[in-house]
Chain A
């Protein structure tokens, strides 16, 4: 399917020659066990992901409104997709969303993880860690309902708060410029905790001696972080950004509840278009075509990331 590599899948110098050199009895035992162990996962994936994906690809070549039998349409659905301004805008929105949301999410998470890495009482650190992780346990749909109240232009708490420092009310959800920013804020608010925990763990794994050595060399503050911490953290950064990007490209609940894609198309994402085409407009063919394109885009972006990562990611 794909050549996707994860960081740890790189060839390791300690690849087990022992196993390779052993006679095939052990090999066969290992293969049998692997087959048994992988069976539940692989069978599940084939039945509930691979087959449905193939189904979607096939469906994307048909016109199907659920009610009548599907009619073969060749590439017509794809052609419509490329001329449909809503679809094109939704791809642009999704990419913009991905770049900004992931960048912001990583930045906030990294900054907080670094700040937390300094000296402080253990209980305090634990309180902070729980607080930053907390939004992740909430349901995106419920919390978006709450956020819709908070960000209301006229009655919301957010505008009241910024009004206290003399800022005029912002039409958070009802202007084409602000709406995307608001959706990103709400999304990042809920998601950054995940990257944050990854970074906390990554920092814990950097041996203390390295920091001490750096301090002795006179590296402090920002320079220490840029020159030493970041390269050591780069594998964590890769995982955080891969997972972040894959999730961001599939964003649905937040814009669906907060703005319903509006005003205009300004916050309409690709998954929203898929949902609307399929379940509101009964065009399962075009919905599948858009879905297949999105899937291809996600794979391409992920592959590109791993390609780039070879240059920038340092393994200890």
Chain B
């Protein structure tokens, strides 16, 4: 025992010395790395842009930086591609920086955070938009007014939308074929949808589920609420905004536009909301759809592309994901969300928000303008990981490799259903989302749970909306 022990201990000791010495040497050699002194543009007054890293690949971020440098060599720029699983992780990180007084100048914000940022952190872009109206005319001509309106808050514009995703329906064509079903028409109804799920179920095996969805604010229950002509919170429009509509949009597009959305009184116990939940519960009961999982839906692309799922709601961002998962353009297609009482769709959009605390607001505005240029966006959105906000960028060439055949659906959703609007995201969005997800889970987790769950959802939503944010 001791005999074999001693050399081993000596060995261990020298091993430890060696490890310690090499660690020290490594530390000394990489002192700049440890103190981050080797990062260019750090603490030198650069314009700091925080962007959701998982949305853009590193090459795209590099291209963004270089292009801006060519245009504005006098404005040093640092792009932080924040890695986060979802928007709430992303915001957690931005908030820590704000709490510590180290806020970036620009933050990439999606619909989920538009009103919170507008109300508490952001600067309205109105004066710059007015000043540079001539320069921006081609941008607005290329971007649907519904997207722009979703970035307004109480009459002012806070972001220029760069991308969006509406929830349309993806269909696996092999599953359709197996069920002997045809591709649904654009104006298909909810009942057509149910019938299709039943046909798919009949033709499928035990490991097949016709409809699959993820329990989240975007693309969860909300599309069904919209289709049934209702919403989680009572929706209205703020007055104002005509300064923008009159400047940039033809009279036909101005109709009904306002100064942004207002989401106020919760209406979780309204009849139509109950109807939507009852419908989803009946699908679960019939084994036509799964109980919704929480989280970011990482299972979804995989199960759809392998034909374990026939139909799922998703937006343009899915085309890229399905291609990565090995799906061919001919294997799937996309159609509008089915009609119920209405065929109103829901979407989420994103763009750069300028923070009040920024001391470089003019420089930041230059970056915003640069980011929405056609050539910049073309470089940024090379793969189909989202739907560009510029209509001209959606063309046959873009979707030739990945599909779907009906790629026009992505942007036409906005034209064909002009009342299509953003997911409900008041400044209290974080609590509203938590409450929605929580009770949606409860409502569909067991039979006859819908009504009590919605009653409690209503109570919690009321509390959430009373909060001063």
Contact = CB atoms under 8 A, between A and B. Distances in A.
A and B touch in the complex (CB under 8 A): yes
B437 interface: yes
Contacts of B469: 65, 282
B91 A148 contact: no
Describe B's contact surface by its main secondary structure. helix
A263 B207 contact: no
Nearest to A84: B463
Contacts of A281: 430-431, 434
Contacts of A66: 95, 98-99
B328 to A, nearest CB: 21
B294 A155 contact: no
Contacts of B453: 264
Contact-size category for A: 20 to 34
A176 B446 contact: yes
Interface stretch (A32-40, A191-199, A253-261, A290-298): A253-261
B299 interface: yes
B303 interface: yes
B88 interface: yes
B216 to A, nearest CB: 9
Contacts of A263: 291, 294, 438, 441-442, 444-445
B290 to A, nearest CB: 5
Contacts of B88: 279-280
Interface string A145-185: 10011001111000010010000000101111000000000
Nearest to B459: A85
Nearest to B99: A66
A260 B437 contact: yes
Contacts of A259: 294-295
A197 B298 CA distance: 35
A279 B441 contact: no
Describe A's contact surface by its main secondary structure. loop
Contacts of A149: 299, 302
B207 A67 contact: no
Contacts of A280: 88, 91-92, 430-431, 434
A173 B444 CA distance: 13
Nearest to A68: B120
Nearest to A171: B291
Given A65-B469, A154-B209, A174 B298 contact: no
B442 A173 contact: no
B292 interface: yes
A261 B215 CA distance: 12
Contacts of A163: 206
B96 interface: yes
Nearest to A275: B92
A264 B445 contact: yes
Q: In this complex, which of A153, A258, A259, A264 has the most chain B Cβ atoms within 10 angstroms of its Cβ?
A: A264
Interface string A132-153: 0000000000000100110011
A153 B309 CA distance: 13
Contact of A175 (B209, B212, B446): B446
B308 A155 contact: yes
Contact-size category for B: 35 or more
B204 to A, nearest CB: 11
B121 A67 contact: yes
B441 A67 contact: no
Interface string B404-443: 0000000000000000000000000011001001110110
A67 B298 contact: no
B205 to A, nearest CB: 11
Contact of B445 (A176, A261, A284): A176
A281 B113 CA distance: 12
B95 A282 contact: yes
Interface in A65-107: 65-67
A262 B444 CA distance: 11
B442 A264 contact: yes
Contact of A154 (B294, B308, B444): B308
Given A155-B308, A264-B439, A279-B88, A257 B295 contact: yes
Interface in B157-213: 206-207, 209, 212
Contacts of A262: 215, 294, 437-438, 441-442
A149 B303 CA distance: 10
A284 B99 CA distance: 10
B318 to A, nearest CB: 18
B214 to A, nearest CB: 10
A152 B299 contact: yes
A181 to B, nearest CB: 14
Interface string B331-351: 000000000000000000000
Interface in A299-313: none
A212 interface: no
Interface string B85-100: 0001001100110110
B293 interface: yes
A286 B11 CA distance: 53
Contacts of A258: 295
Contacts of B295: 148, 257-260
Q: In this complex, which of B95, B293, B439 has the most chain A Cβ atoms within 10 angstroms of its Cβ?
A: B293
A278 B91 CA distance: 11
A27 interface: no
Nearest to A67: B120
A300 B447 CA distance: 40
B207 A174 contact: no
B430 A154 contact: no
B291 A175 contact: yes
B299 A265 contact: no
A236 B438 CA distance: 40
A257 B98 CA distance: 26
A257 B299 CA distance: 12
Contacts of A152: 293, 299, 303
B54 to A, nearest CB: 14
A251 B180 CA distance: 48
B442 A154 contact: no
B299 A155 contact: yes
Contacts of A153: 290-291
B445 A282 contact: no
18 contacts: A148-B295, A148-B299, A152-B293, A160-B207, A174-B290, A175-B291, A175-B445, A175-B446, A258-B295, A259-B294, A260-B295, A262-B441, A263-B294, A279-B91, A279-B95, A280-B88, A280-B430, A280-B434
Interface of B: 88, 91-92, 95-96, 98-99, 120-121, 206-207, 209, 212, 215, 290-295, 298-299, 302-303, 308, 430-431, 434, 437-439, 441-442, 444-446, 453, 469
Given A67-B121, A174-B292, A281-B434, 16 more contacts: A148-B293, A152-B293, A154-B212, A173-B294, A174-B291, A176-B445, A176-B446, A262-B438, A263-B445, A264-B439, A275-B92, A276-B430, A279-B91, A280-B430, A281-B430, A284-B99
Q: Which 10 A-B residue pairings sit nearest by Cβ, starting from the closest?
A: A263-B441, A279-B92, A260-B294, A174-B291, A264-B442, A262-B441, A280-B430, A263-B445, A66-B99, A281-B430
